[in-house]
Amino acid sequence: MIKRLKQKINSLIGNTSGFKGIIFINLSILVLVLLLMFMQQSWISKERDSLISMIDKQTVGKKVKEAVTPKEPEKLTDETVNKNKQSNIFYKSSQGRKVTKLNIKNTIKEADMYFDYSQYDKALVVYERIIDSRIAFDDIDRIFNRLAESYYKSGDYDKASGAYRRVVNHFINSSYRLSAQLGLGECLTLTGNYDESRRILYAIVGQEASYREEKDKNIAIEAYYKIADSYIKQARQHLKKEDPRQRVVAKMN
């Protein structure tokens, strides 16, 4: 095909003069280039399809191998073991120790260590001792908030509500107050106090326009979600209490 095109071009060069011959030559070159590009694109597409097919086969084979091969239990690293040992040693040595002005800072560090390692049952015991000591210190609002979170993480929503309520009612200017309101609203939902829960959560979203910090805006977004969750949980509770025979009649109608 290329040979015939070349012969045609040579014939035109010999027989045609002026711009018509030049235009035809340029068009012929353009057609040839486009043809080569089309052939190259077709080859690339075939190679790409072949590569994708190969990758898919390897992926399927890997998934099958993972499904068949039993997973080994997670190995404890030396660092994890040492942290757990250290935590338990601190906990045993601090049990029954009275909190004083001299050791209160170390006791707070100890409670925070348990909290940061997600050992909430141990953290709340130490936070309680700190609060019961009635010793004045600067970040008491943070301690109450962490005590509330420890109760919440441990599943004691009634005590968590009490600690969150303390932050909300007694620390008006605290940076933890808004998050404590959110936590209180959620705990009230979990304990079935839906009306009070929504009252507190609506108070959060009602001030949304005044929030300037990103974390406060995110708390407002969470409050919307927890309001909806409160309605859902209340509806489910209502359906459970409803007479089963009435539900059958309602379905039939």
54-108 residue pLDDT tens: 545 554 454 444 444 444 444 545 554 455 555 555 555 555 578 888 898 999 9
pLDDT for 240: 86
> Residue 177: pLDDT band by 50, 70, 90 thresholds?
very high
- What pTM was estimated for this model as a whole? 0.60
Q: What percent of the chain has pLDDT over 70?
A: 58
pLDDT for 40: 58
Helix-then-strand count for the chain, H and E: 11, 0
The Cα angle at residue 104 between residues 161 and 178, in degrees rounded to 5? 30
